C-alpha cells in the first residue's frame, strides 16, 4: 500500500515537472511574439523605426501593414527594419 502511494506521488511529480517545463518553453515563445508586436506598435505610434530612427508617414504605415513590403530608401537599397 505504501509503495503504491509513493509510486503514485512519483508519477504526479514527474507529470508536474514535465508540464511545467513545457509551459515555460511555450511561455517564452509567446513572450517573444508579443514583444515583437509591442515593438512594432510603439514604432507606429512614434512615427519612426526604433532600430534605425527613420521617420515614416501614415501612408507608409498602412502600406507596411497591408503588403508587408520592404521600404526602399533614397539610395535604392532595401531597408528592412
* Spatial distance between the Cα atoms of 73 and 75, rounded to a whole number of angstroms: 6
Q: How confident is the model over 6-61, as pLDDT tens digits?
A: 999 999 999 999 999 999 999 999 999 998 888 888 887 888 877 787 887 766 55
Q: Is the pLDDT confidence value at 80 over 80? A: no
- Three cell numbers at 29? 515563445
The answer to whether 3 touches 11, Cβ cutoff 8 Å, is: no
- Per-residue pLDDT at 16: 96
Determine contact, residues 41/65, Cβ cutoff 8 Å.
Answer: no
What is the C-alpha to C-alpha distance for residues 26 and 72, in angstroms, rounded to an integer?
Answer: 36
Q: What pTM did the predictor assign?
A: 0.48
- The pLDDT tens digits of the residues spanning 47-65 come to 887 778 788 776 655 555 5
Amino acid at each position: 500500500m505504501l509503495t503504491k502511494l509513493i509510486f503514485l506521488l512519483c508519477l504526479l511529480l514527474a507529470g508536474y515537472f514535465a508540464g511545467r517545463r513545457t509551459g515555460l518553453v511555450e511561455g517564452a515563445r509567446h513572450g517573444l511574439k508579443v514583444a515583437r508586436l509591442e515593438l512594432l506598435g510603439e514604432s507606429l505610434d512614434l512615427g519612426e523605426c526604433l532600430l534605425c530612427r527613420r521617420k515614416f508617414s501614415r501612408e507608409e504605415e498602412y502600406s507596411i501593414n497591408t503588403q508587408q513590403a520592404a521600404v526602399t530608401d533614397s539610395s535604392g537599397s532595401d531597408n528592412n527594419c
